[in-house]
Amino acid sequence: MNLQNRIKSILGLLFLFFAGNAALATDYYFHPKMGNDTNSGLSKNQAFQSLDKVKSLNLQAGDRILLAEGQTFNGSLEIIGLKGEKNEPLVISSYSEQNNSPSKLARIDAKGYLNGILIENSSFVRVQNLEITAEGYGKMSPEGQMRVGVLIRANKKGGVKGVTLDNLIISRVFFEEKGIQRSAEEVKSANGTQKYGWGIRVMNQSDSEMIEDIEILNSHISDLSHTGIKLTGNTDQNIRRITIKGNTVHRTGGPGIQMSGVKFVYVADNEVMYSGSNDDGRKWGRGSGLWTWSSSMVLIEKNKFMYANGPGDSAGAHIDFNCDNI
């Protein structure tokens, strides 16, 4: 075999290898009414029922978790220690029962749960076209210290890389049941001392691992008791290369967008209105449209920050201590 034919043969084998790997990607369907966790989950007619079923799936790069459009799923969807690939991410999205683009989003109702969606120590995950609510705890016992629409977290067991959140609607996220009235002293505290609901939180709880390459895009976050989008890194700025673009953040009880311990962040084309809202007693009632703390290399452009409310540092946009190149 001459050199040219050998190259063609090798290229052909490589094509078959990669095509074969792509073909192995699996779609898993979920329907809260018509599904059953004893089904195969491999077709709409064999859909799973509960979000808890995701924990038992052996998810691989390119696999998709598909939730029935217009349906409400009670509970929490957890992705822990899973790895997609850059060009074959794990996908969580709505699906249409009519074999076209979803006209209504599937909804996750995380009432009483810690998170609507948890992505922990996982890489290359894409979450899109979903609605998330989490108002209070109902008949369940109040668990934990906070309730979050989407929590992206790294700890000592692993880092996080390549997560995209796109076209999400996150609203009515409260830890407490209706009827709570925050005190005047609570709203004067630095970040609140009580239990709150948050929209999207990116938290690095590891001194050795990184969270990097995160996108928060085209999403609508509103009516929750604390911050809409919050990034929490450490003094080494172990959250890096973040894009927050094209979102609307309205009537949050705390800041609209807040970041600490981060580096290389791009914030553009967002609309933040009525941060620090106090129209519900469960809301903190204080917050800038955006503020940075101990952050470096952050570009903030072409945003709207309007009608910030509350005592202290409740500004449209606020560059706080220990920052450079903002």
In this predicted model, what pLDDT tens digit does every residue of 251-261 receive, in sequence order?
A: 999 999 999 99
Maximal CA-CA distance, the chain: 83
* Spatial distance between the Cα atoms of 121 and 152, rounded to a whole number of angstroms: 8
Most confident of 2-11, 91-100, 279-288: 279-288
Q: How confident is the model at residue 17 (pLDDT cuts 50, 70, 90)?
A: low
pLDDT of residue 157: 83
At 26, which amino acid appears? T
90: which residues sit within 8 A by CB, 6+ positions away?
A: 59, 61, 62, 63, 64, 65, 79, 82, 84, 122, 124, 125, 126
* Spatial distance between the Cα atoms of 125 and 242, rounded to a whole number of angstroms: 15
pLDDT of residue 14: 57
> Do 218 and 167 form a contact (C-beta atoms < 8 A)?
yes
Q: How confident is the model at residue 118 (pLDDT cuts 50, 70, 90)?
A: very high
pLDDT of residue 1: 58
pLDDT of residue 312: 85
pLDDT of residue 156: 83
pLDDT (tens digit, 9 = 90+) per residue, 18-61? Answer: 555 555 899 999 999 999 999 999 999 999 999 999 999 999 99
Compute the Cα dihedral for 30, 36, 40, 44 and give only its sign. negative
Tokens of 158: 């692993």
pLDDT (tens digit, 9 = 90+) per residue, 186-227? Answer: 999 989 999 999 999 999 999 999 999 999 999 999 999 999
| Residue 186 three-state SS | helix
Phi first, then psi, for residue 45 (nearest 5°) are: -80, -15
pLDDT of residue 167: 98
pLDDT of residue 100: 65
Q: How confident is the model at residue 98 (pLDDT cuts 50, 70, 90)?
A: confident
* Spatial distance between the Cα atoms of 174 and 285, rounded to a whole number of angstroms: 13
pLDDT of residue 24: 84
Tokens of 269: 């084309």
- Say whether pLDDT at 7 is over 70: no
Q: How confident is the model at residue 313 (pLDDT cuts 50, 70, 90)?
A: confident
pLDDT of residue 83: 96
* Spatial distance between the Cα atoms of 82 and 89, rounded to a whole number of angstroms: 10
* Spatial distance between the Cα atoms of 166 and 173, rounded to a whole number of angstroms: 18
Output the pTM of the full model.
0.92
pLDDT of residue 102: 65
Task: Select 27-319's CATH number: 2.40.50, 3.40.91, 2.30.29, 2.160.20.
Answer: 2.160.20
Compute the Cα dihedral for 300, 305, 309, 315 and give only its sign. positive
* Spatial distance between the Cα atoms of 205 and 203, rounded to a whole number of angstroms: 6
